[in-house]
Amino acid sequence: MASQGTGYDLSASTYSPDGRIFQIEYAVKAVENAGTAIAVRTKDGVVFGVENLVHSKLMVPGSHKRIFGVDRHAVLTSAGLIADGKHLANRARDEANNFFDTYKQKAPIKTIAERLALYVQAFTLYSSVRPFGASAIVGGVDAERGPQLYVIEPSGMVLGYHGCAVGKGKQFVKTEIEKLALDELSMEQAVDEVARIIYKAHDDAKDKEFELELSWVRADGRHAPVPAELRDEAIRKALQSLDDEMED
């Protein structure tokens, strides 16, 4: 960063001479240092997977959640600063509730994502606030468009995806997702693939231990955690796949 340290990174409302806003770039760095979050669209719904890093052996298992229900048909997960991600989840719930109160129907996933993106972008405009140090994945199934996935960056940019990832393993995970025939996968197969990719992206030598969090929104438009027996089977297959690769 040629302009770093010359005062252009002191405010989110100040551009550097080459047209960059460094505080947004710093927020992106916070995302890149966080545990990976994945989501994929299938023909029948959307599957979410999160690598929840265990920062202390004293933590209660299952207490560190990063997949949040926004509405019955909509889900948000994030990577970056955990508190920022929770705040975005609460804002997404407010947007979904406001839409229902106004139009008496569930908010389309795209509408929730776009409204949340406008909220995130507002925090890049003023010197009195800082950008959110989190990227969010918003997904679900609605009657208008079926399965949907959107990624909201700290800059407020929002894009739709068939499969996406945020966090430290983003580039590797995107390469792995591109190899999948997502339109042909069942929900159960997608759960297996998401678990396999997260375990493959995790570096045991550098990274802390983690808990795998899996959730889905099926074709009936209802969000629920992946059943424990299916999650355990997906983990077993993922570990077996890693062992097979090491033997080869």
pTM of the predicted protein model: 0.93
Q: Where are the domains of the chain?
A: 22-247
User: What backbone torsions phi and psi does residue 100 show, to the nearest 5 degrees?
Assistant: -65, -40
Tens-level pLDDT at each residue, the chain (248 residues): 454 557 888 888 889 999 999 999 999 999 999 999 999 999 999 999 999 988 888 989 888 899 999 999 999 999 999 999 999 999 999 999 999 999 999 999 999 999 999 999 999 999 899 999 999 999 999 988 999 999 999 999 999 999 999 999 999 999 999 999 999 999 999 999 999 999 999 887 677 889 999 999 999 999 999 999 999 999 999 999 988 887 76
22-247 CATH choice from 3.40.50.2000, 3.60.20.10, 3.30.365.10, 3.30.2420.10:
3.60.20.10
Q: What is the torsion angle, in degrees rounded to the nearest 10, for the CA atoms of residue 195, residue 215, residue 212 and residue 247? A: -10
